[in-house]
């Protein structure tokens, strides 16, 4: 991997698992100082050790992003340690789909609280620092990459609230893009299809809609999404990639 993110600082949420973990490793390999955020501290510590062994730098921070105070603390600890913030990747998410009569309202709340509120709190706390980095850093640009979903473009039966949170992520990303692009903060939304991670283990019971939608496709790998993020954040300053849909080739 070419070390083209030297001297940058990146926060990656969802770094304890799946897509977030792969993105964190990828950015660290490219020279970024990566702040690893999730609730499972041991997993973050293990990843930090792995990154260190590969001569990278990271800072694991255990945080529950459903709290605005926690999101603010993540950004404050990042600035205390590294002095700046250039890249924010919001990958933390939960998916608890199922029959809407059977699904407990706490599962819907959990998706809204992590997928939307968590992303919203952290983005808000990070924005002043991203703005400063876009003005003062060598890159003269900063990046926010939000992981939405194909469910953020197409609604499906039994996926109502997950889909609603991801449509919201897609909408907020576009609105923020318009608000901050002249200040050289690039906003990108990535909408992956089925990717081999623990996400599908969150869900209880069968999900007919998902089975129908996906069938037996050859899933994407978390590294496929990480490589896409790498391409986005290392693109030249003049080039902003606003939206990327990535489906498994077999996924109709």
Residues within the interface to ligand NDP (CB under 6 A)? 13-14, 16-20, 38-40, 64-66, 91-95, 114-115, 118, 147, 149, 192, 194-195, 197-199
Long-range contacts of 162-170 (CB under 8 A, 24+ apart): 162/95, 162/96, 162/97, 162/111, 162/115, 164/112, 165/111, 165/112, 165/115, 165/116, 166/115, 166/191, 168/115, 168/116, 169/90, 169/115, 169/116, 169/119, 170/243
Closer residue to ligand NDP, CB minimum distance, 17 or 170: 17
Q: Which residues pair with 189 in a beta bridge?
A: 146, 243
Residue 120 CB, nearest approach to ligand NDP (Å): 13
* Closest to ligand NDP by CB, 119 or 127: 119
Least distance to ligand NDP, CB of residue 63, Å: 6
Return d(Cα 228, Cα 182) in angstroms, integer. 23
Nearer to ligand NDP, 132 or 209 (CB): 209
CA distance 208 to 214: 10
Please name the residue that has the structure tokens 């990656």: 12
User: C-beta of 234: minimal distance to ligand NDP in Å?
Assistant: 21
Q: Can you read off the two tokens belonging to residue 164?
A: 């609603």
* Least distance CB 137 / ligand NDP (angstroms): 27
Residue with tokens 């690039």: 186
Instruction: State both tokens at 223.
Output: 């590294």
Nearer to ligand NDP, 27 or 141 (CB): 27
Answer positive or negative: Cα dihedral of 7, 11, 14, 16.
Answer: positive
Report yes or no: 65 and 71 within 8 Å, Cβ to Cβ: yes
CB 95 within 8 A of CB 160: no
**Residues annotated as part of the active site:** 162
**Residue closer to ligand NDP (CB basis): 174 or 214:** 214
Question: What is the nearest approach in angstroms of ligand NDP to the Cβ of residue 87?
Answer: 16
């Amino acid at each position: 991997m070419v070390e083209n993110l030297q001297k940058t600082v990146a926060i990656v949420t969802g770094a304890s698992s799946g897509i977030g973990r792969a993105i964190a490793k990828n950015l660290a390999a490219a020279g970024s100082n990566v702040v690893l955020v999730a609730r499972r501290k041991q997993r973050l510590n293990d990843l930090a050790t792995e990154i260190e062994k590969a001569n990278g730098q990271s800072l694991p921070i255990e945080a529950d992003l459903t709290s605005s105070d926690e999101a603010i603390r993540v950004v404050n600890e990042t600035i205390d340690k590294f002095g700046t913030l250039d890249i924010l990747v919001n990958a933390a998410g939960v998916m608890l789909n199922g029959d809407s009569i059977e699904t407990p309202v706490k599962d819907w709340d959990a998706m809204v609280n992590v997928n939307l509120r968590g992303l919203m709190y952290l983005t808000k706390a990070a924005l002043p620092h991203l703005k400063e980095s876009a003005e003062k850093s060598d890159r003269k640009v900063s990046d926010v990459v939000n992981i939405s979903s194909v469910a953020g473009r197409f609604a499906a039966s039994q996926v109502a609230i997950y889909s609603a949170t991801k449509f919201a992520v897609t909408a907020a990303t576009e609105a923020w893009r318009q608000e901050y692009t002249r200040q050289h903060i690039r906003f990108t939304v990535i909408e992956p299809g089925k990717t081999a991670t623990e996400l599908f283990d969150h869900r209880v019971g069968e999900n007919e809609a998902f089975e129908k939608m996906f069938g037996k496709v050859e899933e994407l790998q978390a590294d496929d999404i990480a490589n896409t993020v790498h391409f986005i954040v290392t693109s030249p300053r003049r080039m902003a990639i606003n939206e990327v849909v990535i489906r498994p080739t077999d996924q109709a």
